[in-house]
Chain A
C-alpha cells in the first residue's frame, strides 16, 4: 500500500530565507504526488502536483517541488519565505489505478519568523 512520510512536525524559517518542507513516499507503482496547504480554520488548498515529466514542478504562491525517484522524495520549496506562508502543509500520494484514494502525510507546520 502507498504511504507518505513528513519527517518534520514543524519547520521554522526566517522571512526572506529559502524554505524546504520534506516529504518521502512509498508506492508499488508510479507515484502521483501532491502538496496541499491548510490555513487556520480552513480547508486544504491545492498547491501543486507531480504526474510525470519534469522533476521540478511549479505551483501556486511561488512554491515548487522537486521529485527525486532514487530518493523517493518530493520536497516542497520556496526561494524566499513570506510570513503569510505560515500554515500546515500536507504531502499526499496516489499510485494504484483501481484505488483512487489519496493518502496524506501527517502534515508539517511551517512558521515563518518576521
Chain B
C-alpha cells in the first residue's frame, strides 16, 4: 500500500457526461501528480500541483481540469466525456518538489465511457 488513496476505483459513464476523480496523497506529501494510462498512449502525464498551486502541465485536454485543495487532496474533473477518454487515471504524490524525490502511485481509477 503506497498510502495514496484514489476514489472511485471504477466508474462507468456515458459520453457527454462529467466525472470527478478524487485523490488523497500520502500523509505529509505536498505534490500531487495526475497520469492517464491507456493501451495506445501508454502512461501520459497530465498535471502536477504543489501545495495548492499548479506547477507542471502535460498533455491535459481543455475538457479536463484539476485542483489541489488546502487539505492537499486533489480532484481531476473530466467533462464532455468521449469514448477515447476511457482509461486508467492515476494519482501520485511526493513529499516535495525536487528531482530526486520519488513519487508514489495510487491504485488508479478505471473510467469507462460508453
- A51–B56 touching, CB < 8 Å: no
Nearest residue (CB) in B for A31 is B99
- A43–B107 Cα distance when bound, in Å, is 4
Chain B residues positioned under 8 Å from A106 (CB to CB):
42-43
Interface residues of B (CB under 8 A from A): 2, 4, 31, 33, 35, 42-43, 45, 48, 50, 55-56, 58, 90, 92, 97-100, 102-108
Given that A45-B105, A101-B56, A102-B33 are known contacts, is A94 also in contact with B99, CB under 8 Å in the complex? yes
Interface residues of A (CB under 8 A from B): 32, 34, 36, 42-46, 49, 51, 90, 94-95, 97, 99-107
Given contacts A43-B106, A101-B45, 16 further A-B contacts (CB under 8 A): A32-B99, A34-B102, A42-B107, A43-B90, A43-B105, A44-B90, A45-B105, A51-B99, A51-B100, A99-B56, A100-B50, A101-B48, A101-B56, A104-B35, A104-B45, A106-B43
The smallest C-beta distance from A39 to any residue of chain B, in angstroms, reads 11
Q: Which of B31, B50, B104 is the most central at the interface, judged by chain A CB atoms within 10 Å of its CB?
A: B104
Given that A43-B107, A45-B2 are known contacts, is A100 also in contact with B97, CB under 8 Å in the complex? yes
Nearest residue (CB) in B for A30 is B99
- A45–B102 Cα distance when bound, in Å, is 11
Chain A residues positioned under 8 Å from B33 (CB to CB):
101-102
- A43–B2 touching, CB < 8 Å: yes
